[in-house]
Structures are given as structure tokens and as C-alpha cells.
């Protein structure tokens, strides 16, 4: 990747939701928080970045108590909320999460009328002006899936235009959720279009194989290379990440856990999102790919030892 960030504005674009955590048994007392794939990455990225950067979250919320508390939570993370629109007739989306004894999770969603589905839409007009001053834009396939098809098309086209005009760096994670898409074919089309304009790719091998039917990991990497991708990381769960940088394409990180400090998996929610944050924090601070892979892995290992997507800021600071 020839383009290098210089400490400018980073935009993370997507859907933030209320998170109802139900635990792993029906007698557990529910608790509520806020999360969403790109929001999770934004929060951990802001916490990890060493060089001064303005990080903004771009979404739409409702005019309701949960939306107000979400905005307060994002602001408390020193993330700019000035680009978040408020919908007069829609509310914040909600999901409930249960976990089994191994930390694997099951979700239930209430998001069909989420305010975030109106993102970039101003009446009958589209408004992408928020993107104009960005140096880096991070989004996911969930960001695309919640938007009408015409808005997805225009959003990708605008990112492509800004890459050429402003040297914008586009970062994409193909976080595939079949239930959000009209069809698998639609998802394939729009995710492929997004990969073609991506500068830093952060896919998961499971998502890619599920969506595109690749026979194996080599097939995934080959297809990604066909889009022109030459920077990023392929997430492979407990096998560790694989660099997508051309000079490191055959190298991966071997997982080695200290025997006196084993990793206890409590909740795998946000594992990939937090990896993205750790990886990007190094790349955007000018670090090398190998260090970035380790940083992503370390961040994810920390997050899966905690219940819920976001480790509270005070707990994060005390443990740092």
C-alpha cells in the first residue's frame, strides 16, 4: 500500500445498537450496554492509537433515551459524535446475546426500524459530505447490508471517488450476516465491489468461505488478491491471523500462550472487531505489518476474556 496516513481524521461508519446481555443461564440478571461491529472497532482503536488522531463515528440514532445514553458513552471514549444524525421517527436498534459455557454466542435482533438504516439519506437526497474531510474510512459488510441497495452503490462509488481525488484510505471488513441481505448474490456483489476499492482488508476466513464458497484458505487469499488487495490481515480464529501484505503472504502468527497465564474465553463477542482495532492502531501509527498482527491478536485475546463487546473504560485503563 503506497498510501500512508498522517494523523488526520478517521471515520468509522456503521450501526451502533443497544446490547442486552443475558449470560449463559436463564436465572442470570440481564445487563445492558452498547455495541456494533464498527463501533467496537472505533472504541478500541481510539484507546490504542498512540499518535494524535481525530476519530469520528458516523451513524444515525433516534431521539430516545437509549440513543442519548449511547451518544454519552461514545463521547466518554473521546470519539467525536458531531457526524451522528438524529432520526425523528426511528429508534436505536437492539440485540440480545446469550453465551454458552465455551463463550460462543447466540444473537436475537430488533433492528428492522433502526435509525442507522437511514444513514446518508436526507429526504430524497443522498448526503456523503461527512466523508469529504476524512483521511481514513472504516466500514463493514454490515454497514452495507443495513442500507438500501441504491445507497450502498452510491456509498461505494463516493469512497472510490475520494480515494482517487483525496488519497482516502479505505478499510473494510466483510462481516457477513446472511439475515441482513436480500440474497447471497446481492451480498457477493456488494462485498466484491467493496473489496475492489479497499486499501486495508480485514476479512475473516469463515465469513469469506461462507459468502463466496471458496474451497479453502488458499482460495480465499487468491480471490482477495484478484481484487487488487495487497495489505491487511485474514483472521483465522485460533490459528492466528495471516498477513495479506504481498511480501508476507506466506507468513502467519503462531499462537503461543503462557502456561502461567492461560486465556479464559468468556465471550467471543467483538473478537474480530477488536483484532481490527489492534491491527489498525499499529498500521495507522506507521508501524509494520508483523507488529500489527501481534497487536490485533493481543487485543482480541483481552476482549474475549470479558463479558460483552466493550470492556468498561475504567477496567481497561486499570489493566493497561
Measured between alpha carbons, how far is 77 from 177 in angstroms, rounded to an integer? 27
Chain mean pLDDT for the chain: 89
Coil, strand, or helix at residue 33? strand
- DSSP string covering 247-294, please? GGTT-BPPP---TTS----S--TTHHHHHHHHHHHHHHTT--HHHHHH
Domain contains 263: yes
Could you give the percent of the chain with pLDDT greater than 70? 90
Q: Quick one: which of 153, 154, 145, 147 has its CA closest to 126?
A: 154
Q: Tens of pLDDT along 266-286?
A: 877 789 999 999 999 999 999
Q: Is 45 part of a structural domain of the chain?
A: yes
pLDDT at residue 186, rounded to an integer: 98
**Rounded Cα distance, 221 and 204, in Å:** 11
- Let me know if residue 173 belongs to a domain: yes
Confidence of residue 309 (pLDDT cuts 50, 70, 90): confident
CB 303 within 8 A of CB 41: no
Residue 20 pLDDT? 86
Per-residue pLDDT, 5: 60
**How many domains would you assign to the chain?**
1
What is the per-residue pLDDT across 79-121, written as a single tens digit (0 to 9) for each?
A: 999 999 999 999 999 988 887 776 676 878 888 889 999 999 9
Residue 309 lies in a domain: yes
Mean pLDDT of 235-254: 72
Measured CA to CA, the distance from residue 228 to residue 255 in angstroms comes to 28
> CA 275 to CA 145: how far, in whole Å?
22
The DSSP output letter for 204 is B
> At what angle are helices 217-226 and 205-212 packed, to 10 degrees?
80
Half-sphere exposure of 283 (CA within 13 A, CB side): 31
Most confident of 26-30, 106-110, 252-256, 310-314: 310-314
pLDDT (tens digit, 9 = 90+) per residue, 201-242?
Answer: 999 999 999 999 999 999 999 999 999 999 999 999 888 899
Mean of the pLDDT values across residues 12-35? 85
Q: Residue length, the chain?
A: 320
CATH number for the domain spanning 301: value is: 3.40.1190.20
Kindly list the catalytic residues: 273
Residue-range definition of the domain harbouring residue 298:
37-61+129-319
Query: How many Å apart are CA 42 and CA 37, to the nearest integer?
Result: 9
Residues 6+ apart with CB under 8 A from 303: 44, 270, 271, 274, 309, 311
CA distance 177 to 98: 17
pTM of the model: 0.91
Residue 174 falls within a domain, yes or no? yes
Per-residue model confidence (pLDDT) at position 2: 56
Cell of 31: 445487563
**Cell numbers placing 210:** 461462507
184-193, 261-270, 274-283: segment of lowest average pLDDT: 261-270
Amino acid at each position: 500500500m503506497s498510501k500512508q496516513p498522517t494523523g488526520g481524521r478517521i471515520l468509522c461508519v456503521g450501526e451502533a445498537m443497544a446490547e442486552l446481555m443475558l449470560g449463559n443461564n436463564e436465572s442470570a440478571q440481564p445487563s445492558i450496554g452498547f455495541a456494533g461491529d464498527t463501533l467496537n472497532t472505533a472504541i478500541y482503536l481510539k484507546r490504542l492509537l498512540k499518535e494524535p488522531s481525530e476519530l469520528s463515528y458516523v451513524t444515525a440514532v433516534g431521539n430516545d433515551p437509549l440513543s442519548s445514553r449511547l451518544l454519552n458513552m461514545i463521547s466518554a471514549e473521546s470519539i467525536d459524535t458531531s457526524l451522528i444524525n438524529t432520526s425523528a421517527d426511528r429508534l436505536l436498534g437492539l440485540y440480545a446475546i446469550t453465551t454458552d459455557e465455551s463463550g460462543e454466542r447466540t444473537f436475537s435482533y430488533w433492528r428492522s426500524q433502526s435509525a442507522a438504516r437511514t444513514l446518508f439519506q436526507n429526504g430524497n437526497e443522498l448526503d456523503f459530505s461527512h466523508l469529504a474531510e476524512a483521511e481514513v474510512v472504516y466500514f463493514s459488510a454490515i454497514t452495507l447490508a443495513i442500507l438500501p441497495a441504491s445507497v450502498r452503490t452510491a456509498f461505494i462509488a463516493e469512497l472510490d471517488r475520494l480515494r482517487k481525488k483525496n488519497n482516502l484510505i479505505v478499510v473494510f471488513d466483510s462481516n457477513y450476516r446472511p439475515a441482513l441481505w436480500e440474497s447471497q448474490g446481492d451480498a457477493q456483489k456488494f462485498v466484491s465491489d467493496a473489496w475492489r476499492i479497499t486499501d486495508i482488508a480485514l476479512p475473516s476466513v469463515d465469513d469469506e468461505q461462507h459468502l463466496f464458497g471458496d474451497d479453502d484458505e488458499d482460495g480465499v487469499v487468491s480471490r482477495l488478491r484478484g481484487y487488487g488487495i495487497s495489505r491487511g490481515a485474514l483472521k483465522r480464529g485460533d490459528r492466528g491471523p495471516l498477513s495479506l501484505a504481498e511480501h508476507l503472504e506466506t507468513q502467519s502468527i503462531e499462537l503461543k500462550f503462557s502456561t502461567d497465564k492461560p486465556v479464559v474465553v468468556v465471550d467471543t463477542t467483538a473478537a474480530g472487531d477488536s483484532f481490527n482495532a489492534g491491527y489498525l492502531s499499529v498500521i495507522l501509527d506507521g508501524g509494520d505489518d508483523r507488529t500489527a498482527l501481534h497487536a490485533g491478536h493481543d487485543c482480541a485475546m483481552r476482549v474475549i476474556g470479558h463479558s460483552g463487546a466493550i470492556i468498561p473504560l475504567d477496567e481497561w485503563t486499570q489493566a493497561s
